[in-house]
Structure 1
Amino acid sequence: MEKDKIYQLRTEATKIKPIINIGKNGITESVLEEIKKQLKANRLLKIKMLKTSAEGEDIKQSAEKLAEATKATLIDVRGSTVVIYK
């Protein structure tokens, strides 16, 4: 994806609130299904991750796995907030 598009999506993401919260159980199958459903409806999705949900990884690594599992593009990771786009 080109940089202009990513920059535009990051700007757009600042205006939306996190729809999904990932808690201490981490990235489960039901969480992945919900994310896929939300991506289909919204295309741009902001996800809040609990710091303990990373299972020993940092949030960036978890976000990359999440994007890969949902076949989405990782747009941004800031603190414990992840933005993906499909």
Structure 2
Amino acid sequence: MDDQELKRRAHDLDVTVWVGKGGLEAVVDELNDQLSDRDLVKVKLLRSARAGGSTDEQAETLAERVNATIVDVRGHTVVLHR
């Protein structure tokens, strides 16, 4: 599936993972489970999670931790694909 198709599918997705003050560590297992069930997952980085760095940096870190690729980053929302 090409990038444009993935972005089109991601547009209608609801956010299913929220990263808060617990940081990325708190959501890695849940995100792994969701990526196993479906190929696209939308993640929202709340203000308390963004204190340590930019959204792009945290998206890269999260993608590496769950062995996924970043489809799109808009504002503080990230779409991951595996």
TM-score in same-fold range (> 0.5): yes
1:56 Cα shift?
Answer: 2.4
**4, 7, 27: which one aligns with 1:7:** 4
Q: What is the rounded CA distance, in whole Å, between the counterparts of 2:47 and 2:70 in structure 1?
A: 18
Q: Considering only aligned residues, what root-mean-square deviation do their CA atoms show, in Å?
A: 1.3
Amino acid at match of 2:67: K
Q: Which residue number corresponds to residue 75 of structure 2?
A: 79
Classify the secondary structure of the residue corresponding to 2:14. coil
What 5-or-longer segments of structure 2 have no aligned partner?
none
Tell me whether 52-61 or 73-82 shows the greater mean CA deviation: 52-61
Letter of the 1:21 counterpart: W
TM-score normalised by the chain length of structure 2:
0.93
TM-score, scaled relative to structure 1: 0.88
Unaligned runs of 5+ in 1: none
